[in-house]
Amino acid sequence: MKPPPSGKRAAVGVLRQVSPTLHHKFLRWRFQAKLPAVYRSGAPLAFTMPGREAGFFSHFFQVIGAIDFCRSLGHTLILDFRGGPYADNDRTENWWTYYFEPDPFLFGQAASTDVLVAHAEREAFARYGANLAPAVANEIMSAIQVRSPIRDKVDSFVADHFRGSKVIGIHYRGTDKVEKEAVRVPYEYVASQVDRQDASAQLFVAADEAAFLAYMVEHFGDRVFFLDALRSDDGAPIHSMAGSQGLGYRAGEDALIDCLLLSRCQRLLRTDSNLSKACSVFNPKQPAVDLTREFSREAQRTAQQNSRPH
């Protein structure tokens, strides 16, 4: 279970809530100070950013962080997301361009020096992007456009299923995420939180585990609707399963469409994941409940009560 925030972490969290702008400046200053000196060169540079063995929205936040950094210093950003779980032999080599545009990102004068971003810094850019306040990340997103065929699919799904009624989005991330990076939230706890919501609302469910979707349908019946997406039956993460089965493009498209649909809901109940964090980037004003955090707090309170002498 994650420990409660302490000292500096808690202070940074408060700053993020009180002033996202100051929080952004502080994070960027701290982040840039840890980068190699060549990255902070005053001359315009062209950064080539390869991908990693990571999930779709980990890459998304890697790009958000890199755009913010390069834009602040007038550098060029070139994405080189070749290979990995989302690559498709029938499409262009850079899988980022399957889903988004543009690439490259030109933020200043023509660069005379090329810099290949090392793996450690790629991970650092992903962490930096994910830690930005949603409103700040949303502004950075103005440099990115989701490709029109994907936007059209989202609009069509909303027109067919949302139908103007209240929709609560529910995102559940299981498989490799839980217990390695976050506590696993029981299905029953999610259902109990749904029971606290408007009983007339529809429930749009996005999940990587087929068992969770089946559980929600069993408990909430025809209130539940969902995207026909790839899901795991055996605990294997979707991106690794899809890569081995030649379904890389579909896995990325499913993840992006699920995220965009969740961001269109009136309210979001979510477990800890980069996909659910990205929902708030697309819609910073959406009310959201972090079920992982709430469950962890309740479990901690229960443990403290049980440990007291009777």
What is the reported pLDDT for 310?
Answer: 58
CA 29 to chain centre: 23
Residues 14-26 have pLDDT tens digits of: 566 667 788 899 9
Of residues 239 and 189, the one with the higher pLDDT is 189
Element counts in the chain: helices (H) and strands (E): 13, 11
What is the reported pLDDT for 240?
Answer: 65
- pTM for this predicted structure: 0.89
What is the reported pLDDT for 180?
Answer: 55
What is the location of CATH 3.40.50.11350 in the chain?
A: 153-307
| Preceding omega of 102 cis (within 30 degrees of 0) | yes
pLDDT surpasses 90 at 158: yes
Determine how many CB atoms are found less than 10 A away from the CB of residue 65: 27
Specify the fold of 153-307. Rossmann fold (3.40.50)
What is the reported pLDDT for 2?
Answer: 45
What is the reported pLDDT for 3?
Answer: 47
| β-sheet with 113-116: strand ranges across | 105-106, 76-80, 45-50, 113-116
The 8-class DSSP code of residue 245 comes to T
Rounded Cα–Cα distance for residues 175 and 275 (Å): 14
- Token reading at 291: 């079920």
Rounded Cα–Cα distance for residues 181 and 12 (Å): 21
Of residues 250 and 237, the one with the higher pLDDT is 250
Residue 194 vs residues 107, 191, 240, 268: alpha-carbon distances, Å? 44, 5, 30, 10
